[in-house]
Structure 1
Amino acid sequence: MPRFVDRVVIHARAGSGGNGCASVHREKFKPLGGPDGGNGGRGGSIVLVVDPQVHTLLDFHFHPHVVAPSGKQGAGSNRDGAAGTDLEVKVPDGTVVLDEQGNLLADLVGAGTRFEAAAGGRGGLGNAALASRARKAPGFALLGEKGDERDLTLELKTVADVGLVGFPSAGKSSLVSTISAAKPKVADYPFTTLVPNLGVVSAGENTFTVADVPGLIPGASEGRGLGLDFLRHLERCAVLVHVVDCATLEPGRDPISDIDALEAELAAYQPSLQSDSALGDLAERPRAVVLNKIDIPDAKELAELVRPDLEERGWPIFEISTVSREGLRPLIFGLWDMVAAYRAAQPVLEPRRPVIRPVPVNETSFSVEPDGQGGFLVRGARPERWIAQTNFDNDEAVGYLADRLARLGVEDQLLKLGAEPGAEVTIGDMTFDWEPQTAAGVDVTPTGRGTDARLERSDRVGAAERKAARRERRLSDDDMDR
């Protein structure tokens, strides 16, 4: 049996960028070919797209992990790596996207609406792009950046023209199955309907949608039962219809008290999104009352008895029977008139324009803070990104990183804060010992590829030193023999 899922948590992981390539052009009769390493490809992003053919979040319930492909590594001869393909994930109309803290990220309404849930990482630069006056043939390349990885909550709010409201077993599911092609589960016990059912109703040449919301009980607006989950699906309904069971045998219940109890819950409930609040509070939406089960004689008499009291409220009233199909045609056309009037009263919606938030290119802000243990923490988008791009197995790449940090002002800030030689400095996931005597931010005399003269420090005794030491020992032994 198909399941309806209206709230899931997905784990989105965008693709990582490909690494750059460190290559030198080698060709006969061209001894100075120069660097020709290509850049890495961009990682694929995860994009949520509204698809009218998708009506539930069931797929994410069984497959919550969404992973986009990564970019490819660059190659020699200035060949850039292939970019990862963006992964388009189809979601139903009315999907709301929330972050880990519950903050609203996107409200996806309308076919084709798109939202980038996780951005792919940028590819690393190859050594051809890193060549400069100081480094004419870099022996290193930058690593690709990791893609965004985040947990997102997807909530579905049913987008329907008419929402059926009523106590459990009032006949809402039977009504939807009778006036549309929808086939919800119908039984004679409370809370048969646990998920909303959506049906398309034809009124002559016109069509509108009807949502069968699971039964509500007093206290639903405060979370009693599953009230909040059910009321969420009414936020975007243009017309609300009270379906009243006129044949109930429960003591203390009658059509008037049932409607008053549900009206109190609708008035107490507040939509969670500002865009839904713009439709008006649930208490202000157009109303209609459906007196159901009039095929039973006692129910027919009760409907005629309460009708004058309900007419005083100014709401359209329809007496129907889903068993004998009595009164269904006037109900269908009456609801269409209310939906058409509501649509005509709404302002014309302009197509939503895509919101572009460019990343600042010259963002130089960073902070250096003591960690309380003699070390320092460097925070900032650029320093942390540079750390992730650096291959620490390559001395030349480490020297290039030191030059970038020095030009940014990290070295000067550490001196102002009184950093001592050997102090631990943490940037991102990397911790290293600070050595202020190592020159940074200045032109470096080129040495071998992948090396940096400023980092070539070793305590190992060389062959020349060992020969000199042996010579001195021999001379000292000869002097002692004399």
Structure 2
Amino acid sequence: MTTFVDRVELHVAAGNGGHGCASVHREKFKPLGGPDGGNGGRGGDVTLVVDQSVTTLLDYHHSPHRKATNGQPGAGDNRSGKDGQDLILPVPDGTVVLDKQGNVLADLVGEGTTYIAGQGGRGGLGNAALASARRKAPGFALLGVPGEAADIVLELKTVADVALVGYPSAGKSSLISVLSAAKPKIADYPFTTLVPNLGVVTAGSTVYTIADVPGLIPGASQGKGLGLEFLRHVERCSVLVHVLDTATLESDRDPVSDLDIIEEELKQYGGLDDRPRIVVLNKIDIPDGQDLADMIRPELEERGYQVFEASAVARTGLKELSFALAGIVAEARAAKPKEEATRIVIRPKAVDDTGFTVTFDEANEVYRVRGEKPERWIRQTDFNNDEAVGYLADRLNRLGVEDALMKAGARSGDGVAIGPEENAVVFDWEPTMMAGAEMLGRRGEDHRLEAPRPAAQRRRDRDVERDEAEQEFKEFGPF
């Protein structure tokens, strides 16, 4: 059964915002109680948090779909809906978040580091919050905004100071088992190690972590064998240790050629040229192994490598190796720049930034409006309520969308689409000379949505209204 997973595709969905409530206060002896609809609750976020107790992405391999809870709708008597509960997803230290195209979104290193993978939707305002001096009793409320949904890729890059690389069965797991308290699986056949092993080593006052990278063979950087799956685990290390088998039973191999092949794979993978290298000639407890180590050591030292001879079985040469690694790790840590305190970067908007754009889509023959505010307002509007549509028109007009459409060359009857092509609201544009509460008739109606009446019809309607007013004056007198 799979127990270690270091790459998964995760489908996250934040919670939707709750709808606002349109309600009028009703109480005995208070016929004009006014609007009292509450706001909808905010949808829950989906947040990734680094947790040191988590070492694998196995849970997300089995359950890749994760969703936060929705916000609750508002209610009458000014009762706001409950916010949705945030969904916290613990991830191992060293997790990298990427989008489907491979672009890095976040690099999560350090206990408690967080990344919001999905932002919860805003709750809609109730009619109590929408009331104003010009619109005293709104007969509508705003809808909640849907939460963000995303498909992301999580990749685990082990956070280790030292990485052991080498051919299968070179003795990397054996070295970790004697240098630290780790107990990896050890056997005398290739590809015994199928997952990176991690151990903690104490050398004097320095404590560092050491990991082995399994399955490096020729062609690993191009996907052959297991190497490509685990080469990412060496990216964060401070020093690379080549473990060379001086007692190999394969006639076509020797330690120097093994070193050259592994170095070529690391070069092909890229990004590791600046890491210091150490060579460990392993298995010198075998007579032939010691003889071979004596033969190749001068050549390796001529190449500039620091060479150590060791035996995990006989436990020889381990103390010198561990202290040498501790010295390199300490130097690397001292050379790293100190982490600065979190800085708040303020980026004010340009004075000519309207927050939206208007372009002509020739393929669909519509003027397309794109921008965070117009698209959010569209999602918040109940198009079954005429007054809500009128309120949307007011907001777009105040933002300057109508003026921008005129400057772009739009004329009455032209198609206008707000939002992306796959999910846009399209309507025929009718420019208005004024907008606001003065355009509203009875609550829930908006004259801007009515078809234009012929002049003769308008005169007849005015005559009827005048006759009705005169009749009421005769019956009831002046008000």
Question: For the superposition of Structure 1 and Structure 2, which TM-score range results when normalised by the shorter chain?
Answer: 0.7 to 0.9
- Once the two structures are superposed, the pairs formed by residues 223-234 of structure 1 within 5 Å of their partners are 223-234=223-234
Moved more, 311-320 or 192-201: 311-320
Aligned to 1:203: 203
Q: d(CA) in 2 for partners of 1:286 and 1:309?
A: 18
Is the 8 Å Cα contact of residues 358 and 367 (structure 2) preserved in structure 1?
no
Q: Which moved more, 1:144-153 or 1:31-40?
A: 31-40
Amino acid at match of 1:22: A
1:292-441 residue pairs with structure 2 within 5 A?
Answer: 292-350=282-340, 363-415=354-406, 419=410, 422-428=413-419, 429=423, 431-434=425-428, 436=430, 441=435
1:379 partner amino acid: R
Worse overlay, 370-379 or 319-328: 370-379
Q: Which residue of 1 aligns with 2:471?
A: none
Give secondary structure in 2 for the equivalent of 1:199.
Answer: strand
Q: Secondary structure at the match of 1:407?
A: helix
Match of 2:101 in 1: 101
* C-alpha contact 2:35 2:131 (8 A) present in aligned 1: yes
Alignment-derived partner of residue 471 in structure 1: none
1:42-81 paired onto structure 2 within 5 Å: 42-81=42-81
Query: How far did 1:2 drift?
Result: 5.8
Shift of 1:229: 3.1
Q: Percent identical across equivalent pairs?
A: 63
Secondary structure in structure 2 of the residue aligned to 1:174: helix
Query: What corresponds to 2:165 in structure 1?
Result: 165
Q: How far apart, in 1, do the equivalents of 2:66 and 2:350 lie?
A: 28
1:176·1:182 contact (CA, 8 Å) conserved in 2?
A: yes
SS in 2 for 1:218: coil
User: For residues 234 and 359 of structure 1, do their structure 2 counterparts lie closer, same or farther at Cα, with a shift above 3 Å needed?
Assistant: farther
Query: 1:117 deviation in Å?
Result: 1.4
Q: In the alignment, which residue of structure 2 is the partner of 1:137?
A: 137
* 2:326 partner amino acid: W
Distance 1:245 1:425 in 2: 71
Does the 8 A contact of 1:13 with 1:148 survive in 2?
Answer: yes
Taking the aligned partners of 1:368 and 1:141, their CA distance within structure 2 comes to 30
Distance across 2 between alignment mates of 1:425 and 1:133: 31
SS state at 1:80 partner: coil
Contact 1:423/1:434 (CA < 8 Å) preserved in 2? yes
Give the match for residue 462 of structure 1. none
Residue aligning to 2:277: 287
- Secondary structure of the equivalent of 1:400? helix
Is 402-411 or 23-32 further displaced after alignment?
A: 402-411
| Cα distance in 1 for residues equivalent to 2:3 and 2:215 | 18
Offset at residue 390 of structure 1 (A): 0.5
What SS does the aligned partner of 1:38 have? coil
The worse-fitting range, judged by mean Cα deviation, of 322-331 and 38-47 is: 322-331
The Cα offsets for residues 281-316 of structure 1, whole Å up to 9 and x where unpaired, read as x23322222111122211111112222222334443
Per-residue deviation at 1:206?
4.3
Counterpart-to-counterpart distance in 2, 1:411 and 1:342: 60
Secondary structure of the corresponding residue to residue 273 of structure 2: helix
| Secondary structure in 2 matching 1:88 | strand
Kept in 1, the 8 Å contact 2:173–2:184? The answer is yes
Equivalent residues of 2:377, 2:392 under 8 A apart: yes
Aligned equivalents of 2:202 and 2:150: distance in 1? 43
Q: Which residue of 1 aligns with 2:83?
A: 83
Matched AA of 2:306: P
Q: Which moved more, 1:52-61 or 1:225-234?
A: 225-234
**Aligned counterpart, 1:449:** 443
| Distance change in 2, residues 1:3/1:357 (3 Å) | farther
Equivalent residue of 2:373, what SS?
helix
Which 5+ residue runs of structure 2 have no aligned equivalent?
Answer: 454-460, 462-479
Residue 226 of structure 1 and its aligned partner are, at CA, apart by 4.2
CA shift, 1:325, in A, is 2.5
- Deviation, 1:366, is 2.3
**Corresponding residue number in structure 2 for 1:216:** 216
Show the counterpart of 1:478. Answer: none
> SS of the residue aligned with 2:438?
coil
SS of match in other structure, 1:283: coil
Deviations 1:1-59 (A, max 9, x none): 56211111111111111111111122233232211212111111111111111111111
The aligned counterpart of 2:191 is 191
- Residue 431 of structure 1 deviates from its aligned partner by 4.2
Measured in 1, the distance between the counterparts of 2:349 and 2:11 equals 24
Check whether the contact 2:16–2:144 (CA below 8 A) recurs between aligned residues.
yes
CA-to-partner distance for each residue in 1:231-255, whole Å, 9 max, x for gaps?
A: 2111111121111111112233222
Measured against aligned partners, the alpha-carbon deviations of 1:444-480 in whole angstroms (never above 9, x if no partner) come to 3554433334435699xxxxx9xxxxxxxxxxxxxxx
Do the aligned residues in 1 keep the contact of 2:439 with 2:448 (CA within 8 Å)?
no
Decide which moves more: 49-58 or 300-309. 300-309
CA-to-aligned-CA distance 1:187-242 (integer Å, 9 cap, x gap): 32222223211112233564321101013223434444444433211111112111
Following TM superposition, by how much is the alpha carbon of 1:351 offset from its aligned partner in structure 2, in angstroms?
5.1
1:4 is paired with a residue whose SS is coil
- Using the TM superposition, give the Cα deviation of residue 395 of structure 1 relative to its aligned residue in structure 2, in angstroms: 1.2
Query: Letter of the aligned partner of 1:452 in structure 2?
Result: D
Deviates more, 1:372-381 or 1:35-44: 372-381
Q: Which whole-Å CA distance do the structure 2 matches of 1:354 and 1:70 have between them?
A: 30
* d(CA) in 1 for partners of 2:327, 2:357: 61
Q: Indicate how the Cα distance of structure 1 residues 159 and 352 shifts in structure 2: closer, same or farther if over 3 A, else same.
A: farther
Once the 2 structures are TM-superposed, how far is the Cα of residue 121 of structure 1 from its aligned partner? 1.0
Shift of 1:171: 1.1
In structure 2, what residue type is equivalent to 1:113? T
Q: Which residue of 2 aligns with 1:114?
A: 114
- What amino acid does structure 1 have at the position aligned with 2:44? G
Report the counterpart of residue 8 of structure 1 in structure 2. 8
1:115-150 deviation line (CA, Å, top 9, x unaligned): 111111111111112112331100000001111111
What is the alpha-carbon distance in structure 1 between the residues aligned to residue 51 and residue 237 of structure 2?
19
Quote the Cα distance in structure 2 between the aligned partners of 1:17 and 1:354: 28
Change (3 A) 1:124 1:270: same
Decide whether the 8 Å contact of 1:42 with 1:70 is kept in 2.
yes
TM-score by length of 1: 0.85
Q: Give TM-score scaled by structure 2 length.
A: 0.85
Alignment check: 8 A CA contact 2:72 2:84 kept: yes
